[in-house]
Amino acid sequence: MASATAFLSSHALYSSRALRLSRASALGFPRSHSLRVEVANPFPFLYGSTASGGSGLLGKIRGSGFQSSVDSADTLGSSSSMSDQEKNVVPMPIVLIDQDSDPDATIVQISFGDRLGPLVDTMKALRDLGLDVTKGSVTTEPSAIQTKFFIMRSGRKVENPAMLEKIRLTIINNLLEYHPESSEKLAMGEVFGIKPPKKKLDVDIATHIFVQDDGPKRSLLYIETADRPGLLLEIIKIIIDINIDVESAEIDTEGLVAKDKFHVSYRGAALNNSLSQVLTNCLRYYLRRPETDEDSY
């Protein structure tokens, strides 16, 4: 795989309404190349003091300057060979919140095919939540642009479930605002968007839950179910109500479906078979009944 290094200005990269594959060609690289932009300190033009001194709801995004590297892959096909019908297909919007991969920061990854839009507005919305972005990267491939941000609050990763849900819904809301076509692919399209999904998922059919050991001291809980606002908070509340500890999580929104992973434990040990069954039954019961009153359990 050949490689080259390029430096891009933050204004040229982030001020446009969309970052598409054609940008790679404009920079002198063929469309078949994979563009990866490493953002060490993103959005220097957003910096400055705030009334709260960088903490709380007016927390600032810190840093200045960034570096990009471009890796080409000869085996990747050219996007110019796509038919008009393929270009008109609305891609799958994906928002992934990863609490496992970095010990200090929460990683947020956003993807919407090659249509990923104005990230400056998304980052401003996250800034209003009191978040700092320490670094990030943009990876461009023929069929998708993936943007990854490392987010911290008060110098540590975000651990509050309510804040994690705010982050998820804030990103989805911005995606719907700048890419209303994503509305038909997102469960939140009916809540925030212009156009609701053409077909809703059957919650009973869409819900899958399993628990397995992940070492002697913790278990891995996997949940797949129809997405809806507040879903993460529902799940966390159910887990806590049966005295199970949540150590870390990966929250994956893929269109109409939420695919979440939680590392859980009970009194410092992995869940036994009985407790795993109790947890599975409770989650299945409440997740399949989204109209259940929040306080009823």
pLDDT of residue 86: 54
Taking Cα atoms as reference points, which of 215, 221, 217 lies closest to residue 242? 221
pLDDT of residue 196: 83
pLDDT of residue 240: 94
pTM reported for the whole predicted model: 0.69
Neighbours of 139 (CB within 10 A): 17
pLDDT of residue 38: 42
pLDDT of residue 22: 33
User: Cα torsion at 23, 24, 26, 27 (round to 10°)?
Assistant: 120
pLDDT of residue 280: 96
How large a percentage of the chain has pLDDT more than 70?
A: 67
Tens digits of per-residue pLDDT, 29-61?
Answer: 333 333 344 444 443 333 333 333 333 222 222
pLDDT of residue 4: 32
pLDDT of residue 28: 33
Alpha-carbon distance 127 to 246, whole Å? Answer: 26
Residue span(s) of the chain under CATH 3.30.70.260 come to 203-296
pLDDT, averaged across the chain: 73
pLDDT higher than threshold 50 for residue 121 = yes
pLDDT class of 2 with cuts at 50, 70, 90: very low
pLDDT of residue 292: 46
pLDDT of residue 94: 95
Encode 140-180 in three state secondary structure.
EECCEEEEEEEEEECCECCCCHHHHHHHHHHHHHHHHHHCH
Alpha-carbon distance 144 to 86, whole Å? Answer: 13
Sequence-distant (6+) residues with CB within 8 A of 184 are 90, 195, 196, 197, 198
Architecture in CATH of 203-296:
2-Layer Sandwich (3.30)
H or E segment to which residue 236 belongs: helix 231-241
pLDDT higher than threshold 70 for residue 157 = yes
Tens digits of per-residue pLDDT, 222-258?
Answer: 999 999 999 999 999 999 999 999 998 999 999 999 9
Mean pLDDT, range 264-291, rounded to an integer = 90
pLDDT higher than threshold 80 for residue 290 = no
